[in-house]
Amino acid sequence: MTGPSTPETTSRRGLIAGLVVGLPVMAFGTRGAFTEAARVHPAELGRWIVGAAVVNDLLLLPAVLLLGRAARRLVPPHLWPAARTGLVASGVLALVSWPLVRGYGRSPDNPSLLPRDYASGLAAALVAVWLAVAAWLAIDHRRRRCGPIASAGGAQPTPTRSTTKTSVSSGPITPPAPREP
Amino acid sequence: MSRRPTAATLRRRYESDLHEVRAAAWLGLALGVTFGLCFLTGLWSSLAQDPPGWFTYPARPAGVYRITQWLHVASGTAAIPLLLAKLWVVHHHLPRWPPARSVLHAVERLALLPLVGGGLFLLLSGTANVARWYPWTFFFPRAHYWAAWVTMGALAVHVGAKAAATRDALRRAPGDPTLVRATRSDRRTFLGGVAAVSGALVVAAHGGTFAPLGDLAVLGQRRPGVGPQGLPVNKTAAAARVIGVARDPAYRLVVDGAVARRLELTLDDLRALPGRAATLPIACVEGWSESVRWRGVQVRDLLALAGVDPGARVEVAVESLQPSGLYRASVLNHVQARDPDTLLALEIDGEPLHIDHGFPARLVGPARPGVAQTKWVSRLVVS
B 49-88 residues inside an 8 A Cβ radius of A? 77, 80-81, 84-85, 87-88
**Which tops the pLDDT comparison, B253 or A154?**
B253
Q: Does A137 touch chain B (CB under 8 A)?
A: no
Q: Is the ipTM of this complex over 0.95?
A: no
**B232/A113 CB distance under 8 A:** yes
Q: Is B149 helix (H, G, I), strand (E, B) or coil?
A: helix
Q: Does B99 touch chain A (CB under 8 A)?
A: no
- pLDDT tens by residue, A57-112: 999 999 999 999 999 999 999 899 999 999 999 999 999 999 999 999 999 999 99
Q: Is B51 helix (H, G, I), strand (E, B) or coil?
A: coil
- pLDDT tens by residue, B330-354: 999 999 999 999 999 999 999 999 9
Residues in chain A: 181
Q: Does B124 touch chain A (CB under 8 A)?
A: yes
Residues near B150 by beta carbon (within 8 Å), at least 6 away in sequence: A25, A26, A29, A30, A33, A49, B114, B118
Mutate: best of B142, B155, B284, B292, partner A, most A CBs <10 A: B142
Q: Does A53 touch chain B (CB under 8 A)?
A: yes
A 77-96 residues inside an 8 A Cβ radius of B? 81, 84-85, 88-89, 92-93, 95-96
Q: Does B27 touch chain A (CB under 8 A)?
A: no
CA distances from A116 to A100, A119, B120, B211, B236 (A): 9, 9, 26, 15, 18
Q: Is residue A166 scored above 70 in pLDDT?
A: no
Instruction: Give A-chain residues touching B96 at CB under 8 angstroms.
Output: 1
Instruction: Give A-chain residues touching B235 at CB under 8 angstroms.
Output: 110
Q: Is residue B76 scored above 60 in pLDDT?
A: yes
Least confident interval from A139-143, B114-118, B237-241, B350-354: A139-143
For residue B231, name the pLDDT band (cuts at 50, 70, 90).
very high
Long-range residue pairs from A121-126, CB within 8 A, at least 24 positions apart, any chain: A121/A97, A121/B204, A121/B218, A121/B219, A122/A93, A122/A94, A122/A97, A122/B218, A122/B219, A124/B218, A125/A93, A125/A97, A125/B200, A125/B204, A125/B218, A125/B219, A126/A90, A126/A93
Burial category of B175 from C-beta neighbours within 10 Å (exposed 0-12, middle 13-18, buried 19 and up)? exposed
